[in-house]
Structure 1
Amino acid sequence: MHDQSRRLYDAARELRNAETPSAVARLLGVSPQTVKNWESRGVSLEGMMAAEEAIGCRSAWLRTGEGDMLTSKERRNQGRPPIKLVTPDSPKIVHVRSVVLTLRAGFTGVSSDAFEEDGDPFPVSQSWLQSNGFHLQDLVAARIRGQSMAPNLNEDDIAVIHLKSKRPIDGKVFAVNFDGEGVIKRLVYDYKRWFLYSDNPDQNRYRPQEASMAPNFIIGQVVAAQKFNL
């Protein structure tokens, strides 16, 4: 059985007491055969979005198994605390350049100098850099704008981006050059295509967008975050 179907069944059983594939199909408004097909092919994007609404499990979790299973709405209903992502503490602190993800003409994505400064630099631990094999000059910190990646990354949270990590990875969060604008989205590979996916459960407002994967499309991978306004 596909891992995505296994997670779907587990969530439906835990959150909605749905014990059979037919019960899951009724929850999602699809045919039992569709649910059965997912067992070998994986759950479709439409199925994941339907599961967010009907079951309360995050579509990103269904896709990759990473992060919290529950949507922010379901978590509030159950009284669970939000996820808090922080950079590790260390006696020795270094500072990552804070930037605005506004892309200049001729952007090549080769260094942090391609971006404009945005206030004070962001502190991270030297031990964190060393344990991950990062170099300070290959990192930038950017403030999250908007709520498309909530609840994992809310507005005014800080994302640390590794500019050398440009290979797309299914289910991971990246900063990308979308029509000349730097945005932070989750990359999802489905039906032999790449999509930009928002973590916000309101998928009517934050719909997936197909990713072009043109040269310099990927700015870098989000490798750490600091949450504020919890």
Structure 2
Amino acid sequence: MNLSDRIKMARKKAGLTQSQLAESVGIAQTAISQLESGKTLRSSYLVQISRACGVNSTWLVSGEGEMLAPEDVTTYFSSELEEILRGEHEDDAALNAALRDRIEELRSASRYAPSNSLLTEEIPYLIELDDSQDPSKTVVEISVKVHLDLNTEILSKQGVLPEYVVAVAISGNSMAPVLQDGGTVVAHLRETQVVDGRMYVIDHGGQIRVKALYRLPGGGIRMKSYNTYEHPDETYSVREMEESRIRIMGRVFWGASFY
């Protein structure tokens, strides 16, 4: 994860817009925008940015350590409990009950923990659009309007960057019961080398398909559906792939209905 990714993650963790963060730090909004886009690779305001976002400055600057320092977790925890202690309660039993309830809420609210499991990234969907050159055909494009909010921990564990990730809505029953109609999968666009048995997103002549792939001698592929009764295997040589405009777009690493 590079500096631009960490700044964006920290800002979202704090619930701030770029303008709000810039105002807190005392710099222009364009400075934050350039940092998050990677156009600017360093800044003398990184410590101030970390303080404004409430994250570990060492993590923000270098990527080392946890996003939220242990002492910050303790501060959050202590301040919440002190507020309850200052409140009015009928008796000790009521106070203890209030403390137990709040402790449980804090444990489950992972935004207070270094795991950052409530942080999300906007992942764009792949969609089929009418071909401007031939209305009878479609082309596969990345949507600029529709996105999936995906947990950043999923991306981190897979070692992928959000800019190389897309979501795909499942249509039909060809991959049932593993993938159900209406479900969603997420794929990494930089992984197009076929590993036998893994699932991939495919642009098949302007149609989005999700299939398990197997290599064939000579560079061809075999597409496998899990619902083999209705959807038998399909095989394509390299030449047939070119003629059918088959393009492997990326490996599926997450799905709403099966992982």
The TM-score with structure 1 as length reference comes to 0.50
Flag the structure with higher helix content. Answer: 2
For the pair shown, the structure with the greater C-alpha radius of gyration is: 2
Of structures 1 and 2, the one scoring higher in RCO (CA 8 A, sep 6+) is: 1
